[in-house]
């Protein structure tokens, strides 16, 4: 399972957790402006916006899981198993709209669009195909969150077509489809950051014997619907300073509310899903911050510290070993 969230202070932040039982060997990957994209159906794009994000690089191609571009538009793909359905690719002369393979979707949008509004225009004239990247890397069943500092949408390709939803909460997890995730918030209309006043029944005098009782009822399990509710509550009630350090710290706390500890979610006999990495991108500054399961120290890669006019991918392997900072030796 995965969870994605946005967060706004002075700058706009976007990130995700990637929860899984194994890793493909993903790296922080910068795609500079002149790296040539040779899209399966949509032709070549030689020069474009630069990207930074998490990708598995296969045969020199960045298979992005999540990324932002230098204009501040961000996008993340999350599992959508059982609900994702893509189009069959048509011969070029049988369609007027652009055909985009699901594994190309993030670069296709982020190389060309500066805002969610521009992304919406692309989405309106596009077919998302189920074309696999390779035999070894079959089609992933995903849905996507796309956001800039002013708005956020969710894109779901299903049997009945391509859906684009406004996302007023700025959170996405996995199943059910996004309208279902949103609808479930109705069940928690009564929760609050404030202590409850007893409304149980007039005859009873109930006691708020502990702090935090206003949130009673918010689920704490690792199912995707529960994580959606938990992160929505945490994010929408979040308060932090405006500065970079305070904002980034708060962001990791927001996604920390749905962190997956090894052992709590068995996927198959002896295999456990864990939060492999958590990311937070400052979309204005192009800085990709991350932590990994065993490295809680926040590590950062700044796209603007690289030559963004290059035509070669720039990759940084995840620093996944934690370090203890000793105070007395």
Report the interface residues with ligand 6SB, using CB under 6 A.
1-2, 18-20, 24, 56, 63, 65, 77-79, 81, 102-103, 133, 137, 139-140, 174
Query: What's the min distance (Å) between Cβ of 294 and ligand 6SB?
Result: 18
If you search the block for the tokens 């619907």, which residue do you land on? 225
Q: How far apart are the first and last CA of the chain?
A: 40
Tallying the residues shown for the chain, one arrives at 329
Query: What's the min distance (Å) between Cβ of 122 and ligand 6SB?
Result: 19
Query: What's the min distance (Å) between Cβ of 64 and ligand 6SB?
Result: 6
Question: Closer CB to ligand 6SB, residue 208 or residue 267?
Answer: 267
295, 62, 88, 18: CA torsion to nearest 10: 10
Of 2, 113, 152, 281, the catalytic one is: 2
DSSP secondary-structure letter at 140?
A: P
Query: What's the min distance (Å) between Cβ of 58 and ligand 6SB?
Result: 7
Question: Closer CB to ligand 6SB, residue 172 or residue 191?
Answer: 172
Question: Closer CB to ligand 6SB, residue 7 or residue 144?
Answer: 144
Query: What's the min distance (Å) between Cβ of 132 and ligand 6SB?
Result: 6
Q: Are 306 and 316 in contact (CB under 8 A)?
A: no
Instruction: Give the helix, strand, coil percentages of the chain, each rounded to 5.
Output: 20, 35, 45
315 is catalytic: no
Q: Are 324 and 34 in contact (CB under 8 A)?
A: no
Structure tokens of 284?
């204005």
Which residue of this chain has its Cβ atom nearest to ligand 6SB in the complex?
A: 79
Burial of 60 (0-12, 13-18, 19+ CB in 10 A): exposed
CA distance 86 to 130: 5
Cα angle for residues 192, 198, 204 (degrees, 5° grid) = 160
Question: Closer CB to ligand 6SB, residue 152 or residue 274?
Answer: 274
Beta bridge partners of 30: 52, 314
The Cα diameter of the chain in Å comes to 74
Question: Closer CB to ligand 6SB, residue 68 or residue 191?
Answer: 68
Just list the catalytic residues. 2
């Amino acid at each position: 399972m995965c969870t994605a969230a946005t967060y706004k202070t002075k700058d706009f932040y976007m990130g995700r957790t990637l929860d899984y039982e194994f890793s493909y060997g993903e790296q922080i990957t910068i795609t500079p402006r002149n790296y040539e994209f040779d899209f399966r159906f949509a032709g070549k794009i030689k020069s474009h916006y630069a990207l930074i994000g998490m990708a598995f690089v296969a045969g020199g191609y960045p298979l992005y899981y999540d990324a932002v571009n230098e204009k501040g538009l961000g996008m993340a793909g999350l599992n959508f198993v059982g609900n994702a359905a893509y189009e069959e690719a048509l011969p070029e002369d049988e369609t007027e709209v652009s055909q985009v393979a699901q594994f190309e979707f993030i670069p296709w949008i982020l190389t060309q669009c500066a805002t969610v509004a521009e992304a919406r225009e692309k989405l309106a004239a596009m077919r998302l195909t189920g074309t696999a990247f390779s035999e070894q890397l079959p089609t992933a069943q995903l849905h996507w969150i796309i956001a800039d500092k002013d708005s956020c949408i969710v894109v779901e390709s299903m049997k009945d077509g391509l859906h684009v939803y406004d996302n007023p909460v700025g959170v996405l997890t996995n199943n059910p489809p996004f309208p279902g995730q949103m609808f479930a918030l109705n069940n928690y209309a009564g929760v609050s950051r404030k202590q409850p006043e007893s409304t149980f029944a007039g005859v009873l005098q109930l006691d708020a014997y502990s702090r935090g009782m206003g949130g009673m009822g918010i689920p704490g399990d690792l199912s995707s619907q529960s994580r959606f509710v938990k992160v929505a509550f945490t994010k929408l009630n979040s308060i932090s300073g405006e500065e970079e350090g305070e904002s980034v710290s708060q962001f990791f706390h927001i996604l920390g509310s749905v962190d997956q500890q090894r052992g709590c979610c068995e996927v198959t006999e002896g295999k456990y899903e864990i939060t492999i990495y958590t990311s937070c991108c400052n979309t204005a500054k192009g800085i990709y911050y991350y932590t990994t399961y065993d490295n809680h120290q926040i590590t950062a890669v700044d796209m603007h510290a690289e030559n963004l006019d290059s035509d070669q991918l720039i990759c940084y392997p995840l620093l996944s070993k934690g370090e203890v900072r000793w105070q007395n030796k």
